[in-house]
């Protein structure tokens, strides 16, 4: 890893960006712009970290419920989706808490996109009645693995050169010291 990238990883390893507990506003709902800022910082650190183990560690601590049903469900979906999407093992138990699910559907986009969202939403979102695009946590720093390129090809028609597809490291589940959902 280059010194520049290592510096960026270290910058995001601080307590402020280490786990989803700070994304959830420590028990209070965040303003939408504040949430997007913190989530973007968290995701950049998550994506820059090459270690599946450290990525997994960022998701272990349970964020407090805020009382905002949509917000709490979205944070649960993000935690579960990151574990599934990046093959980090089973989602942490906190993502299955009853307060992490919606009773009514929530579409994260315009009305005309509902059919696409119904078909494309990742399972971590869909099972919470949250409907979004296929790659909802896409950022410029997202590793461009085969799944990323698949979504990009559907969206834009772009296909990668073989050297543009990165491999992702999965976590060995036998070494995990935490309680996980089955």
Kindly report, residue by residue over 27-51, the tens digit of the pLDDT.
566 677 778 888 888 899 898 888 8
Give, for 156, the enclosing helix (H) or strand (E).
Answer: helix 146-156
Give a yes or no: residue 145 inside a domain.
no
For residue 21, give its domain range: 3-103+112-136
* Residue 170 resides in a domain: no
User: How far apart are alpha carbons 126 and 130 in whole angstroms?
Assistant: 5
pLDDT of residue 41: 87
Give domain status of residue 179, yes or no: no
CB 125 within 8 A of CB 84: no
Residue 36 is assigned to a structural domain of this protein? yes
Per-residue pLDDT, 113: 92
Domain tally, the chain: 1
- Within a domain: residue 147? no
Is residue 180 in a domain? no
Q: Does residue 159 lie in a domain region?
A: no
Provide the whole-model pTM: 0.74
**Residue 3 in this model has a pLDDT that exceeds 50:** no
Q: What is the three-class DSSP state of 92?
A: strand
**37-46, 130-139, 142-151: which range is least confident on average?**
142-151
66 in a structural domain: yes
Using the predicted structure, report yes or no on whether residue 20 has a pLDDT greater than 50: yes
Alpha-carbon distance of 1 to 123, in angstroms, equals 33
């Amino acid at each position: 890893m280059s010194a520049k990238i290592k510096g960026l990883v270290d910058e995001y390893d601080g307590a402020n960006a280490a786990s989803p507990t700070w994304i959830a506003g420590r028990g209070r709902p965040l303003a939408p712009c504040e949430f997007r800022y913190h989530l973007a910082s968290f995701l950049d650190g998550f994506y820059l970290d090459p270690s599946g183990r450290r990525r997994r560690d960022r998701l272990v601590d349970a964020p407090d419920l805020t009382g905002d049903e949509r917000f709490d469900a979205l944070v649960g979906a993000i935690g579960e989706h990151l574990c599934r999407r990046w093959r980090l093992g089973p989602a942490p138990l906190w993502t299955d808490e009853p307060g992490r699910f919606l009773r009514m559907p929530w579409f994260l986009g315009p009305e005309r996109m509902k059919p696409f969202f119904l078909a494309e939403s990742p399972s971590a979102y869909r099972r919470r009645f949250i409907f979004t695009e296929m790659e909802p946590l896409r950022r410029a720093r997202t590793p461009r693995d085969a799944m990323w390129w698949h979504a990009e090809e559907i969206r834009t028609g772009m296909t990668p050169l073989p050297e543009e597809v990165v491999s992702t490291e999965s976590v060995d589940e036998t070494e995990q010291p935490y309680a996980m959902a089955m």
